[in-house]
């Protein structure tokens, strides 16, 4: 039956930035599909853990600050996931930050911090997870891209650079690892009601102009990513490699 292809029972997912927002929403969607969850975040993920265990799944958490994390730290995160839950079948590279300033005023620190978390950590976590997945015969890596993987944005140069890079390495890693039964794909969320977009949503004029361009007429919610992340994590997406899937309420169609 087709629905069995979406069943994640027995799978283990490592989800970064899972303490709140989109990461928490995706972790819960994966748990409801049957996966056990390891949440990686710089802060406490107890709330996510409670919600995952309420759904009958195992839960583990790692407290890692990706801004300061070395490649060895990221490799250790994958190893600790395997020690805690037995394996790693799914990696969701969700953690990210954004810094806003005009390009002429943008600081080196804001550039480096964003590229470190949003791009460098994505690559090296994917590398470490892929090594483990190859031993297991395959796996699923799901990166979180953005509308700014396609567009330039305004006063977010480092975020645009990082998310454009995420789209690029998604395709590059898919090309290399498809032969190992590892699917590498990305989700590109549209304008979502999260901590990152709080300053925009608080600006009534800017928020109104954004909503006017979204055919769906609303900001996205974490639940809007649950279906697509389960699909990309499941056997149903076995022939999908290197795709960047927009979940944007129609933003790119305008």
Residue 40 lies in a domain: yes
Rounded Cα distance, 120 and 56, in Å: 34
pTM: 0.96
21-43 confidence digits (pLDDT tens): 999 999 999 999 999 999 999 98
Residue 211 lies in a domain: no
159 a catalytic residue: yes
Residue linked to tokens 């919610």: 221
Residue 9 lies in a domain: yes
List, in sequence order, the alpha helices (H) in 86-225: 108-115, 121-136, 157-177, 198-202, 204-213
Round the CA-based radius of gyration of the chain to a whole number and report it.
17
107-119 confidence digits (pLDDT tens): 999 999 999 999 9
Q: How many domains does the chain have?
A: 1
Average pLDDT, the chain: 96
Instruction: Point out the catalytic residue in the list 159, 177, 231, 251.
Output: 159
Give the structural domain span for 99: 2-193+223-246
Residue 201 lies in a domain: no
The confidence score (pLDDT) of residue 133 equals: 98
Structure tokens at 233: 């994590």
Please give the C-alpha separations between residue 116 and each of 9, 93, 119, 165, 244, in angstroms, as whole numbers.
33, 13, 6, 12, 21
Task: For residue 11, give the CATH number of its domain.
Answer: 3.40.50.720
Q: If you average pLDDT over residues 127-131, what whole number do you get? A: 98
Residue 208 lies in a domain: no
Rounded Cα distance, 122 and 95, in Å: 9
| Confidence grade of residue 226 (pLDDT, cut at 50, 70, 90) | very high
């Amino acid at each position: 039956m087709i629905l069995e292809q979406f069943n994640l029972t027995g799978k283990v997912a490592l989800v970064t930035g899972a303490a709140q927002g989109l990461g928490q929403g995706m972790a819960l969607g994966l748990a409801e599909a049957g996966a056990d969850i390891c949440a990686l975040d710089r802060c406490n993920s107890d709330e996510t853990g409670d919600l995952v265990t309420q759904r009958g799944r195992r839960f583990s958490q790692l407290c890692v600050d990706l801004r300061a994390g070395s490649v060895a730290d990221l490799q250790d995160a994958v190893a600790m996931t395997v020690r805690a839950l037995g394996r790693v079948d799914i990696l969701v590279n969700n953690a990210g930050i954004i810094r806003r300033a005009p390009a002429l005023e943008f600081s080196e620190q804001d550039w480096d911090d964003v590229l470190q978390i949003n791009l460098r950590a994505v690559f090296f976590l994917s590398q470490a997870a892929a090594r483990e997945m190859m031993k297991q015969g395959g796996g699923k890596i799901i990166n979180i891209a953005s509308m700014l993987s396609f567009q330039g944005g305004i006063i977010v140069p480092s975020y645009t650079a990082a998310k454009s890079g995420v789209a690029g390495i998604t395709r590059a890693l898919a090309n290399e690892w498809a032969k190992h039964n590892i699917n590498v794909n990305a989700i590109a969320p549209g304008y979502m009601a999260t901590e990152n977009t709080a300053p925009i949503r608080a600006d009534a004029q800017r928020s109104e102009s954004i909503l006017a361009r979204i055919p769906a007429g609303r900001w996205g919610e974490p639940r809007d990513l649950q279906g697509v992340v389960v699909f990309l994590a499941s056997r149903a997406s076995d022939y999908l490699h290197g795709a960047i899937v927009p979940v944007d309420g129609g933003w790119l169609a305008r």
